Amino acid sequence: AGTATGIGQQATQRTAGAVMNPNMELLFNGPQLRNFGFNFKLSPRSAREAQTVIKIIRFFKQGMAPLRTKERFFLKSPHTFQLKYQGPGARSDQPYLNKFKECALTNCGVQYTPDGNYNTFNDGVMTSYSLQLTFNELTPIYNDDYTGLDGDEDTMIGY
């Protein structure tokens, strides 16, 4: 009503002695989705490791591509990823690093000559690859996400 009549701000100033903060938009304009970039240098030492590196690169490239239905009439969303840092135990998360919500892989870049020169093994596999991955979370982080953490909340960084 105050906005419609034009006297809302004046009424607030006179009755409460308060002024609206014109910079509030700079402080909060809505929740933001976080993105994370990871860089890996993959240098296989054997033919078996080389095939594993090729599979890793293909896994991420294929995982970020949209899916087609059997009839190829519709497209489906690409796969999503649940990232985590491995902790000291076999099934534990690292409590001293950030946590992630479900993510989509938005960029998968491969540099085939990260050392600046073309160098292959006898079978043609590169001696080194540089893999750059960018993930975006699908939902924003809210204040109450920190209250439902597993473990001792006082010793965890959380999101």
pTM, entire model? 0.75
Q: Quick: pLDDT tens for 81-134.
A: 999 988 777 677 787 888 899 999 999 999 999 999 999 988 899 999 999 999
Q: How many residues does the chain have?
A: 159
Report the C-alpha gap between 118 and 128 in whole angstroms: 10
Q: Strand 129-137's sheet: what is its strand order?
A: 35-42, 129-137, 103-111, 80-81
H or E stretch covering 134: strand 129-137
Residues 106, 111, 115, CA angle at the centre, nearest 5°? 145
Q: Quick: pLDDT tens for 40-97.
A: 999 999 989 999 999 999 999 999 999 999 998 999 999 999 999 887 776 777 878 8
